Amino acid sequence: MLKMTHLSKVYRTEVVETYALRDFNIDVKEGEFVAVTGPSGSGKTTFLTIAGLLETFTGGTYHLDNLDVSNLDDNARSKIRNEKIGFIFQAFNLIPDLNVFDNVEVPLRYRGMKALERKERIMGALDRVGLASRAKHYPAELSGGQQQRVAIARALAGSPRLLLADEPTGNLDTQMARGVMELLEEIHRDGATIVMVTHDPELAARAQRNVHIIDGQVVDLAEDPRFHSAYVAAAGQVRG
């Protein structure tokens, strides 16, 4: 579903080159629920923005749903974002001027979908996240957990092949975070491929597979000599 090979992302200024991702390799299979973890500044968000075609990369290759997306133009990238990818952001990213219904409708409008089909999909997605009754409410009238559910409904309404979640519970209290996480697990059980960036080990543990990024590279904490001792100590703490 998502395969990056020797991918790199370099930010260049006149005097310095900064590698956000370097020789980055990842392969997410269809139907997997992968948690991407790593310390701040490790490159998690850069990975997610490249995976979501929000940003271009400098080198390597990236195949999404068996399509090489390395050299697509802006319109083609927009089309893939719209049809194949669903985004769930930490800050929900709802449009405050639009009500819940209209917010969920945004990506469907860009797809050129007929009004009747849009309405069916929107109400179906809102029903799935338990907010069908709030369709006419504005984001400011909802709690954080409800706003994130709307964002999930917006991501689901387009039936994407891949769901990308960037710290989806980062702005929520524990109870709301639990609810959102359960919803993501339910969506995964229904067959969705989910890649979730998080720094929360508890959330990461609920994913099928964990991928760790450090200094812009995917590392195996158990095998990499740089992190082996720290990993063993941490694992011991968890077991204890």
Partner 1 sequence: MQIKPILTAMRHHKAGTILIAFQIALTLAIVCNALFIIQQRVTRVMRPSGVEEANLFAIDNQWADSASVQNVGAQIRADLTALRQLGSVQDAYATNSFPLRGWGWDNYVRLRPDQVHRTSDSAIFFTDDHTLATLGVKLIEGRNFTSSEAHDVSIKTLAAWPEIIISKDLAKKTFPDGHAVGKPLYVNSDASPSVVVGVTDTLQSHMTDSDITPFAYDAVLVPGYLLQGMTRYVIRARPGQLQAAMRDAKRALVTQSRMRIIDPKDGVRTFAQVRAKAYERDYGMAMLMGIVSVVLLAITAAGIVGLTSFWVGQRRKQIGIRRALGATRADILSYFLTENAMIGGCGVIVGILLALGINLWMVMRFEMAHLSGLYVLIAAAILLLLGQGAVLAPALRASRVSPVEATRPA
Residues that bind partner 1 (CB under 8 A): 45, 48-49, 52-55, 74-75, 78-79, 81-83, 87, 89, 91, 93, 95-99, 102, 105-107, 109-111, 154, 166
28 or 157, CB closer to partner 1? 157
8 or 93, CB closer to partner 1? 93
Torsion sign (Cα): 159, 146, 210, 48: positive
Cα separation, 231 vs 30, in Å, equals: 29
31 or 124, CB closer to partner 1? 124
> What b/e sequence results for 67-84 when a residue is b if at least 16 CB atoms lie within 10 Å of its CB, and e otherwise?
eebeebeeeebeebbbeb
Q: Which residues, including other chains, have CB under 8 Å from residue 37's CB and lie 6 or more apart?
A: 44, 197, 198, 199, 201, 204, 210, 211, 212, 213
115 or 205, CB closer to partner 1? 115
* 1 three-state secondary structure: coil
What minimum distance in Å lies between the beta carbon of 65 and partner 1?
Answer: 15
Cα separation, 33 vs 168, in Å, equals: 14
- Six-digit token pair at 72? 């697509």
138 or 231, CB closer to partner 1? 138
Residue appearing with tokens 């590392």: 219
User: DSSP for 158-185?
Assistant: T--SEEEEESTTTTS-HHHHHHHHHHHH
**Half-sphere CA count of 82, side-chain side, radius 13 A:** 15
Supply φ then ψ for residue 13, to 5 degrees.
-120, -175
What minimum distance in Å lies between the beta carbon of 237 and partner 1?
Answer: 32
* Residues 63 and 15 sit within 8 Å (Cβ to Cβ): no
What minimum distance in Å lies between the beta carbon of 234 and partner 1?
Answer: 28
111 or 199, CB closer to partner 1? 111
What minimum distance in Å lies between the beta carbon of 21 and partner 1?
Answer: 14
What minimum distance in Å lies between the beta carbon of 221 and partner 1?
Answer: 26
What minimum distance in Å lies between the beta carbon of 96 and partner 1?
Answer: 8
What minimum distance in Å lies between the beta carbon of 93 and partner 1?
Answer: 5
43 or 52, CB closer to partner 1? 52
